[in-house]
Structure 1
């Protein structure tokens, strides 16, 4: 999944906010870097989103 798909899954965040999220140290590492950008495993991103949503802070917004 790329950054656009991550934005769709999270919902209502800008492209800039999405890029800040994927560059957080706790975000999963990309599995590949293509000419169009980085890509991540769907399962890892979904698990990260679920963990963020279940945390008290709801840390889906960039710091």
Structure 2
């Protein structure tokens, strides 16, 4: 799962917001760094979203 897929999965948040989330210590480690950017295992990202959904929604609501 790349940043675009994460953006879509989280309801079209900005690319910058995905990068901010990916910098958090709690965010999963990428499995690869490609020319196009970092990629993560979908199940790792889905688990992270499930655990942090309320936190993500709260911050997005403030924007």
Task: State the TM-score, normalized to the length of structure 1.
Answer: 0.84
Which secondary structure state, in structure 2, belongs to the residue aligned with residue 5 of structure 1?
helix
Distance 2:18 2:11 in 1: 10
- Name whichever structure is richer in helix by fraction: 2
Query: Which sections of structure 1, spanning at least 5 residues, go unmatched?
Result: none
Give the structure 2 partner of residue 32 of structure 1.
32
Match of 1:59 among 49, 55, 60: 55
Q: Confirm or deny that 1:18 pairs with 2:18.
A: yes
Which secondary structure state, in structure 1, belongs to the residue aligned with residue 38 of structure 2?
strand
CA RMSD of aligned residues (A): 1.4
Task: State the TM-score, normalized to the length of structure 2.
Answer: 0.84
Which secondary structure state, in structure 2, belongs to the residue aligned with residue 59 of structure 1?
helix
Q: 1:34-49 residue pairs with structure 2 within 5 A?
A: 34-49=34-49
